[in-house]
């Protein structure tokens, strides 16, 4: 067996992912943001796609209230 060292995968909470994505959007430089956090730029792009596809927590939806037709 090989004596290669094993690097444990980092687990990111949803809040951490959102913070990294927000940072990358604010700075406009995904590569620099990725390097700062020790991840691949592609990972940030994947997180962006997932966050954009998911509705925001606590978001309100438009509803129309129908009048009561009565008995």
pLDDT tens, 17-62?
999 999 999 988 999 999 999 999 999 999 999 988 876 666 667 7
Domains of the chain, each with CATH number or no CATH: 1-71 (1.10.10)
Q: Which of 42, 57, 47 shows the shortest CA–CA distance to 21?
A: 47
- pLDDT recorded at residue 13: 93
Contact 51, 21 (CB under 8 A): yes
pLDDT higher than 60, residue 1: no
pTM of the model: 0.64
Contact 41, 30 (CB under 8 A): yes
- pLDDT recorded at residue 15: 93
């Amino acid at each position: 067996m090989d004596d290669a060292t094993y690097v444990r995968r980092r687990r990111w909470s949803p809040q951490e992912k959102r913070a990294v994505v927000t940072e990358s959007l604010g700075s406009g430089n995904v590569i620099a943001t990725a390097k700062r956090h020790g991840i691949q730029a592609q990972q940030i792009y994947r997180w962006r796609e997932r966050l954009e596809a998911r509705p925001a927590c606590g978001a309100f939806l438009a509803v129309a209230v129908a009048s009561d037709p009565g008995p």
